[in-house]
Each structure stands twice: as C-alpha cells, then as structure tokens.
Amino acid sequence: MKSEWVLSKDHLSYWLRQLRNERELIGPLRDGGKDILFRTVDMLHEIVLECPSSLPSPKGFLFPQYEAMFSCRGLSLSDGSDGKREISDLRDRTRRVIFGVRSCDVSAVRLLDAFCLGKLRDPYYEERRRNTFLISLVCNNPDPTCFCLGLGTGPYLEEGFDIQMTDLGDRYFVQAGSPEAVRTVRAMNFFFRKPRKVDYEDQYEVFLSSKARFRKRINLEGPRQAILSGKVGDDFWQEVTDRCFECGGCSYSCPVCTCFTVTDRINPEGIERARLWDSCMFKGFTRMAGGVLPNEKRVQRTKRWYYHKLVHYPRTTGKFGCVGCGRCAVACPGKIDMARTATKIKGLALKEEVE
C-alpha cells in the first residue's frame, strides 16, 4: 500500500502541536534581522514557510557549530586515581522534529549519514540523527540561487525523506518514506485522509511548475569531466582565489561541509572538550605543532574545496558533495559559489573546444 495522505491546512497546527508533545519542534522562523533561521518553535504561527532558504542550513541540529563532547571533573594533571569515572560523555539525546526542511537539506543529511555513519561511526552525529525526525516541504518557489534541479536533490524527492509534504494550496500532500514516518502519521490518522485522484494531479502540477521556476540550470557533471580531463588549469583557480576573503562563509553555510576542530576549555566546574565547525579556507587549518604551516598556497585551499565536492565525492560515493542549495552564493562576499564556478568551467571548456 502507498504511504500517502492528505492533510488539510486547517489541521497543520493541531498536528504539529501533537508532535511537539513528544519532541522538541524546530522550524524556520524569522529573526529580528529578517533572516530565516531554524529555531525551537514556541508560537506555531511564527513558522514561516514561504521564505528564502534558511541561513545557516539546519545541519546544526545534527552537527552543531559548538558541541560539547566530554566533561572532565576533579582531575588535576598529576592525579593518580582511576580517571574513567570522571569523564562524562555529553552526547545530546534530545528528541527533535524539524519541520519545513528543504529537499536539498534532506539530501545533504543523506550525504552526512554516509560520511558520519560510514566505517567509523561518529557517536555525536549518530545520537542526534537517531533522535531527529525530518519533515520536508517541497519547494514551490525556488530561490534565484537554487540549483538542486540539476543535481536531483530537489525541489522534491522520490525517496530518502521521513515525511515529505507538498503544498497544494488549501491542503498538503503527505508522503511517508520511513517506517517511523508511517507510524507517526498513523498514530494521528484522524488528521489525515486518503488522497483522491485530484490530489495526485495537483501534486504533479505543483512539481511541474516548481521545476519551471528555476533560474539556474547547472549540471555539475560537465565541470567534473572538464577538471578530470585537465582543462581547468591553476590560472583558473587563481582567478577564483583572488576573489576569496578567506571568511569561511562557504563552508559554514554549506549543508555538506563537516570539518571541525577540537578544543579544551577550562571552566570552574572542570574541563570541557568541545568541537567546533572549522573551515579548510582558513590559513591555520593545516597548522601543525609549534605553528609550522605546510607549504600551501591560497589557491590550493580553494582547489581542495572544489575538488572535494566535484571530484573526490563522486569518486568515493557516486554523488556530488553539493546539493545545490545555493547558500554559498548568498554567503560569499567575493561572489564565488558553486553554481558560478561550474558555469565558468563550462565556459572555459567550451572555449577550448571552439579553439
């Protein structure tokens, strides 16, 4: 049987309120500066669904900007007692439901799953992921910077979501993609009804119109092949690098980037070992003991970021390390972003062909 339902918009807030009984409800909210951020929802009417993409992405609920890993109490450096008891593991076990996630961000979470839960499982990510339930919303109005269409990571998904909802005007088309999602809907089946023929037709039309609204049509396969065939030289990357302010905005806003640094903080209560987002765009990223920096030029850092996403990701996972969310285009003050760089590489390759 198909796990599909229809939810009237009148019932949305009731349903969310029910979900909130068991989990912390996270949704897109507008802050004082009019930015869209994923935050804990206090007032349901404050959720904004017709808005540009959030910045930063909701990855912070699975991989926070600052996450305490361990606390270490009553341990002086020369303390001879057994230390195991005093170290506590600070894994976050809060159960959360994130409502209004975009399809690209759900696709990014799938990439994070593959990376963080691969051969060696990252315990902090794993715990948060296990306790997080994602309700994604099909993008009826993609932003001007969006290019998920070319990557198959949006504006709607065929699979890989928990619950996917499509706005049909007065109602939502609801699809459950995991056993837990089916259970979640069934537990409150009085809010939902079975879809009719007209619901399927409307959903199809919404998908069509959304696809037609994309301003950017980018295929990253072309740039990947141009790079592999050696058509993209260092002078190209130098041009890109010349515009880089080394702010790290691209990595921080990227829903796929996961580099982190670890730091020990000494508090009155003890020592806390925490991890923080880091960016490979920073000069100090590869600094070794005593401040020794490997012989590395700025252009190599730019290249590494793009190569990782465009060449190495496909080689190891079969997928690009980019979901086309377009946040790097919003974040970058130097107007460097994946879509623009891909377009430039395409132009470079074409020019070479003509010549």
Catalog residues that contact another protein under the rule CB under 8 A: 69-70, 72, 75, 77-80, 82-84, 87, 89, 91, 93, 113, 115-117, 120-124, 126-127, 129-130, 178-180, 258-264, 266, 271, 273, 275, 278, 280, 285-292, 294-296, 300, 304, 307-308, 311-312, 315-316
Q: Which is nearer to another protein, 212 or 288 (CB)?
A: 288
Cβ atoms of 27 and 61 closer than 8 Å: no
Write down the least CB distance from residue 42 to another protein, Å: 26
Q: Report in angstroms how near the CB of residue 48 gets to another protein at its nearest.
A: 28
Upstream peptide bond of 64 is cis (omega within 30 degrees of 0): no
Q: How far is the CB of 295 from another protein (least distance, A)?
A: 5
Rounded to whole angstroms, the Cα distance separating 52 from 330 reads 11
Q: Which is nearer to another protein, 180 or 201 (CB)?
A: 180
Answer yes or no: are the C-beta atoms of 136 and 38 closer than 8 Å: no
For residue 30, give Cα distances in angstroms to 38, 129, 318.
9, 25, 36
User: In angstroms, rounded to a whole number, what is the distance separating the alpha carbons of residues 115 and 118?
Assistant: 5
Smaller CB separation from another protein, 147 or 313: 313
Report CA-CA distances (Å) from 116 to 128, 156, 167, 259, 287. Answer: 12, 24, 32, 11, 24
Nearer to another protein, 147 or 306 (CB): 306
Closest CA to 136 of 203, 201, 193, 181: 181
Integer CA distances (angstroms), 77 to 273, 276, 287, 349, in order:
15, 25, 26, 59
Cβ atoms within 10 Å of 231's Cβ, excluding its own: 17
List of residues 6+ apart from 66 with CB closer than 8 A: 274, 275, 276
Closer CB to another protein, 46 or 296, in the complex: 296
Cβ-based nearer residue to another protein, 186 or 287: 287
Smallest distance from another protein to CB 150, Å: 24
Which residue's CB is nearer to another protein, number 78 or number 189? 78
CB of 117 to another protein, least distance (A): 6
Least spacing, CB of residue 259 vs another protein, in Å: 3
Instruction: With beta carbons less than 8 A apart as the criterion, state whether 171 and 7 touch.
Output: yes
Q: How far is the CB of 187 from another protein (least distance, A)?
A: 13
Give the separation between CA 39 and CA 58, rounded to whole angstroms. 9
Give the sign of the dihedral formed by CA 3, CA 7, CA 11, CA 12: positive
Nearer to another protein, 233 or 290 (CB): 290
